[in-house]
Amino acid sequence: MNNFSYIQVNSAKEATGYRQATPQAAYIAGGTTLLDLMKGNLEEHPQLVDINLLPFKGIEQTSDGLRIGAMERMSDVGEHPLVLQQYPAVSESLLLAASPQLRNMASIGGNMMQRTRCGYFRDAAFPCNKRVPGSGCPAQEGNNHNLAILGTSEACIATSYPGDLAVALAALDAVMTLENAKGKQRRVPVTEFYVLPGKTPQRETVLEPGELIVAVTIPAAAHARRSTYLKVRERSSYAYALASAAVGLDVQNGTIRSARVALGGVGTKPWRSPEAEKVLTGAPATEATFRAPRPRPCVGPSHATTTASK
């Protein structure tokens, strides 16, 4: 790990000011992802800016929906009565993730900023376009087990966000609040927060330099209350998803009035599936409907990979 300085700040203005002065500085909250990256020499930051004292907390129902502060811990959100009762897919996605110890430390904002588990990215001995743009993507012809099949490019096939929470949030139309160095806030849907790799896989989100994640807001809706998150993995705990799905249905009189479906583990970002939603909407809520063959998802500007390990 490289040497670095450490500072704890009391306001968003102070935090973004440090990032403006030192663009390579990094924010740290729980540190469950950042410290791993630094210990592996995958990221080098001359300064860590501790944001744990920032007032980005709270879990409350507002006129816009459920607002979750970015500094809330995963375990607190996953176990909160409002989340359990009104947004079960969100609770399940959090409580199926990591381990209890990590969930007690990791912040919601930090969870949204997880980086890929691609073995080539995680081993500094290999070239990787995410770490060093233009150096190559050995996963294209090498071991691409657990990597993406949707939204890939010639530059990268990594599942850039490997976690669970953002998949559930993408399904439930959640919106993120971001704040820049001037104190100006903007709102970005989770489905637009992550970007496809294209020719610039080193850019994974729409966050501008120095911007902070302030909160996530999930609209109140019938499909949010009737939602679930399913995760398939190689072992029963403390493992990332081979594939996952977050689904929410608004069912009235036995008919699906609206549907929300998002996939994880298979795309270069949390993958919303309007094709599946269209097939479900208006159909009877029966086992036959759910088991019926589905159209192939729209993969966008992607490049197919060809190994049997997919």
Model confidence pLDDT, tens digit, residues 266-275: 999 999 999 9
Of 174 and 20, the structure prediction assigns the larger pLDDT to 174
Q: What is the pLDDT of residue 62?
A: 97
Tens-digit pLDDT profile for residues 61-95: 999 999 999 999 999 999 999 999 999 999 999 99
Give the per-residue pLDDT at 237: 87
pLDDT classification of 308: cutoffs 50, 70, 90: very low
Contacts of 288 (CB under 8 A, 6+ apart): none
Pick the CATH number of 56-218 from 3.30.465.10, 3.60.15.10, 3.30.930.10, 3.40.50.740: 3.30.465.10
Percent of the chain exceeding pLDDT 90 equals 90
Q: List beta partners, residue 6.
A: 48
Residue 309 in this model has a pLDDT that exceeds 70? no
Q: What is the pLDDT of residues 88-114, one digit of tens each?
A: 999 999 999 999 999 999 999 999 999
Q: pLDDT per residue over 13-64, tens digit each?
A: 999 999 989 999 999 999 999 999 999 999 999 999 999 999 999 999 999 9
Is the distance from CB of 105 to CB of 30 less than 8 angstroms?
Answer: yes
Is the predicted pLDDT of residue 211 greater than 50, yes or no?
yes
What's the rounded mean pLDDT across residues 115-137? 97
Question: Residue 299: what pLDDT?
Answer: 53
Residues 6+ apart with CB under 8 A from 4: 38, 45, 46, 47, 48
Q: Could you tell me how many residues make up the chain?
A: 310
Is residue 167 over pLDDT 60?
yes
Whether the CB-CB separation of 34 and 28 falls below 8 Å is answered with yes
- Mean pLDDT taken over the chain: 94
pLDDT at res. 288 = 94
Q: Are the CB atoms for 224 and 64 separated by under 8 Å?
A: no
Whole-angstrom CA distances from 21 to 26, 46, 109, 210 are 12, 12, 22, 10
Chain centroid offset of residue 178 CA: 15
Q: Does residue 297 surpass a pLDDT of 70? A: no
**Half-sphere exposure of 112 toward its Cβ, with a 13 Å CA cutoff?**
33
- pLDDT in the model for residue 305: 39
CA distance 261 to 229: 10
Mean pLDDT of 208-215: 95
Check pLDDT > 90 for residue 256: yes
Question: Domain ranges in the chain?
Answer: 56-218
Say if residue 301's pLDDT is above 60.
Answer: no
Could you write out the three-class secondary structure of the chain?
A: CCCCEEEECCCHHHHHHHHHHCCCCEEECCCCCHHHHHHCCCCCCCEEEECCCCCCCCEEEECCEEEEECCCEHHHHHCCHHHHHHCHHHHHHHHCCCCHHHHHHCEHHHHHCCCCCCHHHHCCCCCCCCCCCCCCCHHHCCCCCCCCCECCCCCCCCCCCCCCHHHHHHHCCCEEEEECCCCCEEEEEHHHHECCCCCCCCCCECCCCCCEEEEEEECCCHHHHCEEEEEECCCCCCCCCCEEEEEEEEEECCEEEEEEEEEECCECCCEECHHHHHHHCCCECCHHHHHCCCCCCCCCCCCCCCCCCC
pLDDT-wise least confident of 164-168, 210-214, 252-256, 289-293: 289-293
pLDDT for 293: 80
Assess whether pLDDT exceeds 50 at residue 281. Answer: yes
Average pLDDT for 118-127: 96
